[in-house]
């Protein structure tokens, strides 16, 4: 039976229907899957967010330090920080690192269907057994489709994470951060950054299993109305030469393909990204078309990859030559009506450079090769 049948229940009536790409992804999920994610322990009782940001960034080969200042500031002021908006601040920190943020939570689809938000939260609570199955399916699909870990937060008690009641009464609002690396038959496999040997409690640990039973019946992942999960994906793409052999003195076409995220369509990429892509070639090459291309792109599952091309002449120097495509993504991070901090919509940029090498053959050698 297809996993997509979960969306045929009455509990899912306010959810959009899965796309054909979603259904294919749902039905391709293995019984077990786990990514090899670097493990980082938190430095303070309130520091799980910092540790999780480091793990997400380091897994994708990015330097987490540009985003750490923002997260550390919110953690340092844990008594007055509005923990109900931690997800939005975490997304802003991911952008500084170079990650494109995304999120899923069931309230996004359910609450707008009701005149009052609490009525939508009631609907989720009454149907949470079924909705949690959808949540878990979508989280698995996000990890498997994007091949990147995701960030979630768990409600807790002070036996699991030892701290004062005063501190727990504040921190449990936003929950304790963990990184979802994969799953097995029992539950999600997570990196929990809590160092129990230093802080006490029974929580914490590398590749810890959070059981599906716990998440569906006892403590769901944190959101105002049940499970929520977040993540960030670096700009994905690759460079290639199109449709012809490469030798000295030849016109070739270099193509850059901007890839979609692989995420199911239920995850929100709530920023419209405008891309600029610029090709850099060695001095022996001649760029015969404009250097920069612009494209607007949405990263949802099923969105065709965006392609741009440059006409290039190889010149007269054979051998392996390095080329680069510099990608700049521009957007505006919105301000959400539930945020209490006074902010304005924020212009943002994410950059990444892609590199490859082109092996330019000697025409004379190529014309003789394999002619034995």
Question: Where are the chain's structural domains?
Answer: 3-233, 237-368
Cβ distance 99 to 60 under 8 Å? yes
What's the CATH code, domain 3-233?
A: 3.90.70
Q: Give the CA-trace dihedral at 280, 67, 58, 293, to 10 degrees.
A: -20
Choose which CATH entry (3.90.1150.10, 3.40.50.450, 2.40.50.140, 2.60.40.10) describes domain 237-368.
2.60.40.10
pLDDT in tens, 311-325: 999 999 999 999 999
pLDDT at residue 327 tops 80: yes
Cβ distance 174 to 84 under 8 Å? yes
User: Cβ contacts of residue 138 below 8 Å, gap of 6+?
Assistant: 104, 229, 264, 266, 267
pLDDT at residue 139 tops 70: yes
Q: How many CB atoms lie within 10 A of CB 121?
A: 19
Half-sphere exposure of 327 (CA within 13 A, CB side): 26
* More confident: 296 or 130: 130
Distance CA 318, CA 315 (A): 8
Structure tokens at 185: 């038959």
Distance CA 124, CA 126 (A): 5
Mean pLDDT of 160-175: 89
pLDDT in tens, 57-87: 999 999 999 888 777 766 677 776 665 667 7
pLDDT category of residue 264 using cuts at 50, 70 and 90: confident
Q: End-to-end alpha-carbon separation of the chain, Å?
A: 56
pLDDT in tens, 183-242: 999 999 999 999 999 999 999 999 999 999 888 877 777 765 666 788 888 888 999 998
Identify which of 101, 114, 190, 181 has the alpha carbon closest to the alpha carbon of residue 144: 181
Note the pTM of the prediction, 2 decimals: 0.88
- Taking phi over 0 as left and psi of -120 to 50 as alpha, with beta for the rest, 279 belongs to beta
Distance CA 233, CA 241 (A): 26
- Per-residue CA distances from 31 to 38, 81, 137, 140, 350 (Å): 23, 40, 12, 10, 35
Please tell me if the domain spanning 3-233 has the same topology as the one spanning 237-368. no
Hey, which of 28-42, 127-141, 320-334 has the most confident mean pLDDT?
Answer: 28-42
């Amino acid at each position: 039976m297809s996993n997509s049948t979960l969306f045929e229940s009455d509990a899912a009536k306010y959810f959009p229907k899965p796309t054909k790409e979603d259904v294919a992804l749902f039905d391709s999920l293995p019984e077990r899957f786990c990514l090899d994610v670097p493990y980082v322990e938190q430095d303070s009782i309130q520091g799980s967010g910092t540790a999780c940001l480091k793990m997400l960034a380091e897994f994708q080969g990015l330097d987490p330090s540009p985003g750490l200042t923002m997260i550390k500031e919110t953690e340092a002021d844990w008594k007055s920080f509005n923990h109900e908006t931690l997800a939005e601040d975490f997304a802003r920190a991911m952008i500084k690192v170079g990650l494109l943020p995304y999120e899923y939570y069931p309230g996004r689809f359910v609450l707008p269907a009701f005149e009052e938000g609490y009525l939508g939260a009631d609907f989720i609570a009454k149907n949470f057994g079924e909705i949690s199955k959808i949540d878990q399916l979508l989280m698995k699909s996000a990890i498997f489709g994007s091949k990147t870990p995701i960030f979630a937060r768990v409600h807790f008690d002070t036996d699991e994470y030892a701290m004062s009641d005063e501190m727990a009464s504040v921190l449990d609002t936003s929950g304790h951060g963990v990184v979802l690396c994969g799953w097995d038959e029992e539950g999600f496999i997570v990196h929990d950054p809590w160092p129990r040997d230093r802080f006490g409690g029974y929580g914490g640990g590398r590749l810890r299993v959070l059981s599906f039973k716990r998440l569906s019946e006892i403590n769901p992942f944190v959101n105002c109305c049940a499970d929520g999960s977040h993540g960030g994906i670096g700009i994905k793409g690759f460079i290639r030469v199109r449709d012809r052999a490469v030798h000295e003195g030849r016109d070739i076409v270099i193509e850059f393909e901007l890839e979609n995220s692989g995420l199911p369509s239920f995850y929100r990429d709530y920023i419209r990204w405008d891309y600029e892509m610029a090709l850099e070639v060695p001095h022996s090459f001649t760029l015969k078309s404009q250097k920069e291309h612009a494209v607007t792109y949405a990263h949802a599952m099923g969105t065709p990859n965006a392609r741009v091309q440059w006409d290039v002449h190889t010149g007269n120097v054979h051998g392996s030559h390095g080329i680069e495509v510099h990608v700049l993504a521009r957007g505006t991070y919105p301000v959400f009506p539930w945020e209490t901090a006074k902010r304005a919509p924020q212009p943002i940029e994410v950059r990444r450079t892609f590199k490859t090498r082109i092996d330019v053959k000697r025409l004379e050698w190529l014309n003789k090769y394999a002619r034995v």
